[in-house]
Amino acid sequence: MLSDYTAPSIQTVHETLLGYYGAPQIKPQRPPLDELVLTILSQNTADVNTARAYQNLTDTFPTWQKVVEAPTETVAEAIRIGGLANIKAPRIQAILRKVLKDQGELSLNALTKLPPQEIKSYLTSLKGVGPKTAACVMLFSMHVPAMPVDTHVHRVALRLGLVPEKMTAEKTQELLEEATPSELYYPLHLLMIQHGRTLCHARNPECSTCPLQTMCPFHLYLRKTQPSPA
The pTM score is: 0.91
The pLDDT assigned to 228 comes to 57
| Residues annotated as catalytic (active site), given as ranges | 132
Query: In percent, how much of the chain has pLDDT > 70?
Result: 98
At 24 the three-state DSSP class reads: coil
Rounded (5°) CA angle 33-37-38: 115
Residues contacting 229, CB < 8 A, separation 6+:
none
Q: What is the mean pLDDT of the chain?
A: 94
Is 149 exposed, middle or buried (CB count within 10 Å of its CB: 0-12, 13-18, 19+)?
Answer: buried
pLDDT tens digit sequence for 173-227: 999 999 999 999 999 999 999 999 999 999 999 999 999 999 999 999 888 887 6
Among left, alpha and beta (phi > 0; psi -120 to 50; other), residue 211 is: alpha
The per-residue DSSP string of 92-139 comes to HHHHHHHHHHHHSSS--GGGGGS-HHHHHHHHHHSTT--HHHHHHIII
pLDDT tens digit sequence for 138-170: 999 999 999 999 999 999 999 999 999 999 999
* Length of the chain in terms of residues written: 230
